[in-house]
Amino acid sequence: MSSSRSFDLAIVGRGAVGAAAALGLAQAGLKVCLIGPHAPAAPASDPWDTRVFALSPATRELLQTLRVWDALPAERMAPVYDMRVYPSASAVAPELHLGAYAGQVECLAWIVENRALMGVLDNALRFAGVETLDDTVSDMQLTGSGPSGRIELALQSGRSVAARLAIAADGADSVVRTLAGIEPSVREYRQRGVVANFETRLPHADTAYQWFGDEIGVLALLPLPADEPTMGRTSMVWSAPEALADELLNLSPEALAERVRLTTRNVLGEMAPISAAQAFPLRLVRAPRLIAPRVVLVGDAAHVIHPLAGQGMNLGFGDVACLLSVLKGKEFFRDLGDTLLWRRYERARREAVSTMQTATDGLARLFGPVPAPVAAIRDLGWRAVARSGWIRRRLVAHAVR
């Protein structure tokens, strides 16, 4: 470890959250190292990435601050001006309509492909002078104390890196979090997120759709840019119980498209597949602490939520925005790895993360299998929310933060 290369900060994890953190810290004038294997790209045969994000106005503000938002290809992004949510796939299910106009906001979200987002972040990192190591962390230890203290990261290649602070952005199974002695609570939802993209006969009108159901789980259709104004293109995220997920993955692409069309009651007309289906397990991950000596957790290393609200990536970018804000307010005499400094970050993020985790977990439970009396109360509550303009405006205000 004595031959360690030295940096102000080492960010572990090369996903979008880690890349954004590295970029913001480098732009603040710090010497930054970004560590992690390069994330696999979407298959070149797929014209559209199946991994898409619904980026909130708050996330857009962060990406504008980092000077990468305007570099995103406009022709590969779709705004979401309306969201229509149904408590079941029944034809008579009451609709909850959330609109940007009624909520007095410019847009509810923007749908962006992972590869487009990573492309602009990677380019910006090169211009910002961030050093990237295609490696993984195998061990870490603290050395020294006070302002002279460092955290040293041993890498699989045999190299090592020393930094004043390490930021764990290495995902739900974070190695850095484990090495820091932070043990999260994990609960499996016994669901998988099945994702695929489709061309649709009818245009989506910049609208996202979502259906809940005891048997189907949660099915969402997110708008993608279409080539023709009379046609449509959509990204599907189906949070399905495991048995249903297996069934969906065993269907041919054409059969899956037909299954989605029937389940969504033909809302976008005939559907044709433009990508192969993929799946990922769903779980709830709660970290009891977001900091440890010279370690800060961000993104999925700090929290994982059910994807039904599409807020997982936005929570991670919220972590980055808070991280940069805390750094900006750092007193000149305070060490970059000072635990008291990063307690400000932990306190600031605790409420936002806990609120979103509780809300998404509660919805996932509420719209899962429940006794008939509970289902009846749930349906009454849904109708009340759907009819209340004030509640719907509050939901929009919370969603765009």
Show pLDDT as tens, one digit a residue, over the chain (401 residues): 445 799 999 999 999 999 999 999 999 999 999 999 987 766 666 789 999 999 999 999 999 999 999 999 999 999 999 999 998 878 778 888 889 988 888 999 999 999 999 999 999 999 999 999 999 999 999 998 888 899 999 999 999 999 999 999 999 999 999 999 999 999 999 999 999 999 999 999 999 999 998 789 999 999 999 988 889 999 999 999 999 999 999 999 999 999 999 999 999 999 999 999 999 999 999 999 999 999 999 999 999 999 988 899 999 999 999 999 999 999 999 999 999 999 999 999 999 999 999 989 888 877 776 666 766 676 767 666 666 767 666 666 666 66
Q: What backbone phi and psi angles, to 5 degrees, belong to 40?
A: -65, 140
Architecture field, domain 5-49+116-186+283-364: 3-Layer(bba) Sandwich (3.50)
**Torsion, CA 93, CA 94, CA 100, CA 105, rounded to 10:** -130
d(Cα 210, Cα 214) in Å, to the nearest integer? 14
Contact 239, 308 (CB under 8 A): yes
Q: DSSP string covering 360-374, please?
A: HHHHHHHTSS--HHH
Asked if residue 282 lies in contact with residue 178, where contact means CB atoms within 8 angstroms, the answer is: no
User: How many CA atoms lie within 13 Å of 277's alpha carbon, on the beta-carbon side?
Assistant: 25
DSSP secondary structure code for residue 147 in this structure? G
Q: Are strands 217-224 and 232-241 parallel, antiparallel or unpaired?
A: antiparallel
**Hey, is 49 helix, strand or coil?**
coil
- State the DSSP code for 332: T
pTM of the model: 0.93
DSSP 108: S
| Six-digit token string for 245 | 């997920």
Instruction: Select from 196, 211, 171, 185 the least CA-distant residue to 363.
Output: 211
The answer to whether 87 touches 367, Cβ cutoff 8 Å, is yes
What would the two tokens of residue 373 be? 């009396």
Name every residue whose Cβ is closer than 8 Å to that of residue 115 and which is 6 or more positions away in sequence: 41, 42, 49, 51
DSSP letters, 50-70, are S-EEEE-HHHHHHHHHTT-GG
Alpha helices in 207-311 (DSSP H): 242-249, 253-263
Domains 5-49+116-186+283-364 and 80-112+189-282+369-399 share a fold: no
7-24 burial code (b ≥16 CB/10 A, e <16): bbbbbbbbbbbbbbbbbb
Ordered by start, the domain boundaries in the chain are 5-49+116-186+283-364, 80-112+189-282+369-399
> How distant, in Å, are the alpha carbons of 90, 203, 209, 303 from that of 269?
17, 9, 14, 37
Residue with tokens 């779980």: 283
The CATH number of the structural domain formed by 80-112+189-282+369-399 is: 3.30.9.10
Please tell me the distance from the alpha carbon of residue 131 to that of residue 30, in angstroms, as a whole number.
12
| Tokens at 147, concatenated | 């302002």
Q: How far is CA 332 from CA 110, 244, 338, in A?
A: 38, 56, 12
Q: Coil, strand or helix: which one is 186?
A: strand
The amino acid that residue 116 corresponds to is A
Q: Residue holding tokens 């034809």?
A: 91
How far apart (Å, rounded) are the C-alpha atoms in residues 80 and 364? 23
Indicate the burial class of 259 (C-beta count within 10 angstroms; 0-12, 13-18, 19 or more): middle
